[in-house]
Amino acid sequence: MTNSIMTDALWAIGGLVVLMLGADLLVRGASGLAARLGIPPLVIGLTVVALGTSAPEIAVSVDAALDGRPDVALGNVVGSNIFNILLILGVSAVFAPLVVKSQLVQFDVPVMVGVSALPLLIGWDRLISRVEGVFLLALLAAYLATLVWWSKRGRDSVVAVTSNPEAARPPGSVLLQIACALGGLACLVLGADALVEGATSIARTVGVSELVIGLTLVAAGTSLPELATSVLASMRGERDLAVGNVVGSNLFNVLAVLGAGAVAGGGIPIASGLLHFDFPVMLAVAIAALPVFVTGASISRREGTVFIAYYVLYAVYLGLHTADHPFEEEFGIIVLGVVVPLTIALAAAIWWGRDPAPPSGVAQTEGPTEADHA
């Protein structure tokens, strides 16, 4: 047994290394494409990067649905979305405060909140049917079409304010940037697969349920591309990419991952625990994040630390659930009752203590500072 665990651990570590390499390649390629093709980095983060980093979730959930393991398929989506907002945005903000663009606040974040409510609404009968899966995929297509339209509408203004477009372009051809991004995606998928396989084998050896595996190890493993991509993007100054990647990935997880899993598996049955606790937590986290996005249109280090603390609370609850601890139910009520009110109170306090934002006209006339590119 010891040799098996060691082999699985080495396999998982190797997957993590490949993940980090893939994340670096993807950020370089995606940001390069954005600069060369005149596409805003935010749109790239909400579409290409989000879909690419959600590819492991899609592969795992479709495979789990086909193999008759609905707890893994659903736990992967729910756990990944909670992980994305609380831990990934939290860690990224700790490295560098994240500036949130108005498009995210006005459109994408509210859409993410609405999408987070869909599993609870369509799954109230304890089943996400194939027809409902098609509906989710149709919503994804409509969302992508809206983003494409939005990007085309804003492209002229983007070009107009750029006095020397060639100076802003990164070295290398478009084909090189595409190859870099595709190579990064390939590394992400391969690395995530190796990591999840190794971690899942270790968990099963220890004797952990499939639902907990899906909510923790599988969710964290398939979300590591988002974590690596967002942290590296934040450190490189691509903060639009860092935030857009998380919001876009959460949208893809529900619409694409659940949709594809339900269509491929002919429907996904929902466990009672997911319906009554984990789905509400996923929705509560999305709602609780909304005022943080709105306050000053940024995510500060302080707010990032609070996000991380919230994820620790959720992880503690899952630990109590795994151990079948008698305090599990009471702790779950505390988690649901504290996350939303405390976050709203924190957002209000931060908003009250900040200086008023400059008029929009001033922000538009001033050029980017060196700090914006840091």
Q: Which span out of 103-112, 190-199, 264-273 was modeled with the highest average pLDDT?
A: 264-273
- Report DSSP letters for 258-297, one per residue: IHHHHHHHT-EE--HHIIIIIHHHHHHHHHHHHHHHHGGG
Amino acid identity of residue 209, one-letter, is S
Assign 115 a pLDDT band (cuts: 50, 70, 90). Answer: very high
Amino acid at 1: M
163-172, 179-188, 218-227: which range is least confident on average?
163-172
CA distance 357 to 129: 47
pLDDT greater than 80 at residue 125:
yes
Task: Answer whether residue 127 shows pLDDT above 80.
Answer: yes
Per-residue confidence (pLDDT) for residue 46, from 0 to 100: 63
Tell me which of 299 and 41 has the higher pLDDT: 299
CB atoms near residue 74 (< 10 Å) = 30
Show me where the domains of the chain are located: 41-154+209-356
Cα end-to-end span (Å), the chain:
48
Q: Is the pLDDT reported for residue 295 higher than 60?
A: no
Q: How far apart are CA 191 and CA 35, in angstroms?
A: 28
Residue 91 pLDDT more than 90? Answer: no
Average pLDDT, the chain: 74
Q: Given this model, what pLDDT does residue 133 score?
A: 92
Q: What angle do CA 98, 101, 106 make, to 5 degrees?
A: 125
The residues pairing with 127 across neighbouring beta strands, listed in sequence order, are 269
Please state, in angstroms and rounded to a whole number, the distance separating the CA atoms of residues 296 and 359.
13
Single out the residue of 218, 192, 188 nearest to residue 48, CA to CA: 188
| 107 vs 169 pLDDT, higher one | 107
**Region 210-225 average pLDDT:** 76
Are the C-beta atoms of 222 and 28 separated by less than 8 Å? no
Q: Please check whether the domain covering 41-154+209-356 is classified as CATH 1.20.1420.30.
A: yes
Structure tokens given for 51: 């879909």
Q: Which residue has the tokens 């979300």?
A: 223
- Asked if pLDDT for residue 157 goes beyond 70, the answer is no
Q: Which of 10-24, 134-148, 209-223, 276-290 has the highest mean pLDDT?
A: 134-148
The pair of structure tokens assigned to 226 is 């988002």
Q: Is a pLDDT exceeding 90 seen at residue 138? A: yes
Record the tokens describing residue 324, joined without a space: 């079948």
Instruction: Give the residue with greater pLDDT, 343 vs 259.
Output: 259
Type of residue numbered 366: E
Binning pLDDT at 50, 70 and 90, where does residue 97 land?
confident
**Mean pLDDT for the stretch of residues 226-243:** 75
